[in-house]
Homo-oligomer: A and B are copies of this chain.
Amino acid sequence: MKPSTPKGTRDFSPTEMVRRNFIFKTIREVFEKYGYQPIETPAMENLETLTGKYGDEGDKLIFKILDSGEYFESVRKDLKEDLQSKKTSLLNLEDENFNKQTLQEQWECIEKIITDIKTQDVTKHISEKALRYDLTVPFARYVVQHQNEITFPFKRYQIQPVWRADRPQRGRYREFYQCDADVIGSDSLLNEVELIQIINDVYTKLGISVTIKINNRKILQGIADFFKIKDFSEFVTILDKADKMGAEFVRKELISQNILPLPEAGMFSTLFFESPQKELKAAIDQNKLNLLKVWNEDANSEIGKKGVEEIEFIFSQLSNIQYPTSNIQLDISLARGLNYYTGAIFEVKANDLQMGSICGGGRYDDLTGIFGLPNISGVGISFGIDRIFDVMNELNLFDSIGLTASITKVMLAHFGEAERTYCIGVASQLRVSGINTEVYPDITKKISKQFGYANKKQIPFVIVIGGDEMKTGELTLKNMISGEQIKMKVDLIISKLI
Check if B114 sits within 8 Å of A183, measured CB to CB. no
- Beyond the given A34-B438, A322-B428, please list 6 additional residue pairs across the A-B interface where CB-CB is below 8 A: A3-B46, A3-B141, A3-B144, A5-B42, A33-B436, A98-B98
Q: Which of A1-24 contact B (CB under 8 A)?
A: 1-6, 9-14, 17-18, 21
Q: A5-B45, A6-B44, A190-B420 are in contact. Are A66 and B68 (CB under 8 A)?
A: no
Q: Return A167 CB to nearest CB of chain B, in Å.
A: 10
Check if B9 sits within 8 Å of A44, measured CB to CB. yes
The list of the 6 closest CB pairs from A to B, nearest first, reads A35-B438, A68-B165, A9-B42, A14-B37, A188-B441, A17-B38
> In the complex, which residues of chain B have a beta carbon less than 8 angstroms from the beta carbon of A421?
317, 320
Question: Which candidate, A115-123, A227-235, A330-338, A358-366, is the interface stretch facing chain B?
Answer: A115-123
Partner of A91, one of B4, B6, B103: B103
Q: Which of A418-446 contact B (CB under 8 A)?
A: 420-421, 424-425, 428-429, 431-432, 434-439, 441-443
Check if A146 sits within 8 Å of B13, measured CB to CB. yes
Q: Return A176 CB to nearest CB of chain B, in Å.
A: 10
Assess whether A357 is interfacial by the CB under 8 Å rule: no
Check if A4 sits within 8 Å of B407, measured CB to CB. no
> In the complex, which residues of chain B have a beta carbon less than 8 angstroms from the beta carbon of A408?
32, 35, 37
Q: Quick one: CB contact mask for A320-357 with B, threshold 8 Å, 1 for yes?
A: 11110000000000000000000000000000000000
Assess whether A286 is interfacial by the CB under 8 Å rule: no
Assess whether A39 is interfacial by the CB under 8 Å rule: yes
6 A–B pairs (Cβ distance < 8 Å), ordered by A: A17-B39, A64-B65, A69-B165, A114-B117, A190-B420, A191-B441
Question: Which candidate, A70-78, A250-258, A288-296, is the interface stretch facing chain B?
Answer: A70-78
Q: Return A156 CB to nearest CB of chain B, in Å.
A: 7
Chain B's closest residue to A47 (CB) is B6
Assess whether A461 is interfacial by the CB under 8 Å rule: no
A69–B39 Cα distance when bound, in Å, is 32
Partner of A103, one of B70, B90, B128, B436: B90
Partner of A322, one of B42, B128, B432: B432
Check if B3 sits within 8 Å of A49, measured CB to CB. yes
> In the complex, which residues of chain B have a beta carbon less than 8 angstroms from the beta carbon of A237?
none
Assess whether A474 is interfacial by the CB under 8 Å rule: no
> In the complex, which residues of chain B have a beta carbon less than 8 angstroms from the beta carbon of A17?
37-40
Check if A424 sits within 8 Å of B190, measured CB to CB. yes
Check if A119 sits within 8 Å of B43, measured CB to CB. no
Check if A65 sits within 8 Å of B68, measured CB to CB. no
Assess whether A172 is interfacial by the CB under 8 Å rule: no
How many residues of A are counted as interface, with CB atoms below 8 angstroms from the partner's CB atoms?
125
A203–B175 Cα distance when bound, in Å, is 34
Check if B322 sits within 8 Å of A119, measured CB to CB. no
Q: Which of A33, A38, A104, A153 has the most CB of B within 10 A?
A: A33
Check if A39 sits within 8 Å of B65, measured CB to CB. no
Q: A110-B110, A407-B35 are in contact. Are A188 and B6 (CB under 8 A)?
A: no
Q: Return A457 CB to nearest CB of chain B, in Å.
A: 5
Assess whether A194 is interfacial by the CB under 8 Å rule: yes
Check if B321 sits within 8 Å of A428, measured CB to CB. yes
Chain B's closest residue to A141 (CB) is B3
Assess whether A100 is interfacial by the CB under 8 Å rule: yes
Assess whether A249 is interfacial by the CB under 8 Å rule: no
Check if B38 sits within 8 Å of A149, measured CB to CB. no
> In the complex, which residues of chain B have a beta carbon less than 8 angstroms from the beta carbon of A156?
14
Assess whether A268 is interfacial by the CB under 8 Å rule: no
Q: Return A78 CB to nearest CB of chain B, in Å.
A: 10
Chain B's closest residue to A434 (CB) is B33
Check if A142 sits within 8 Å of B194, measured CB to CB. no
Q: A118-B72, A193-B424 are in contact. Are A39 and B61 (CB under 8 A)?
A: no
Q: Quick one: CB contact mask for A86-107 with B, threshold 8 Å, 1 for yes?
A: 0100110001001110011001
> In the complex, which residues of chain B have a beta carbon less than 8 angstroms from the beta carbon of A464?
none
Assess whether A79 is interfacial by the CB under 8 Å rule: yes
> In the complex, which residues of chain B have a beta carbon less than 8 angstroms from the beta carbon of A68?
60-61, 63, 165
Check if A21 sits within 8 Å of B4, measured CB to CB. no
Check if B79 sits within 8 Å of A118, measured CB to CB. yes
Check if B441 sits within 8 Å of A153, measured CB to CB. yes
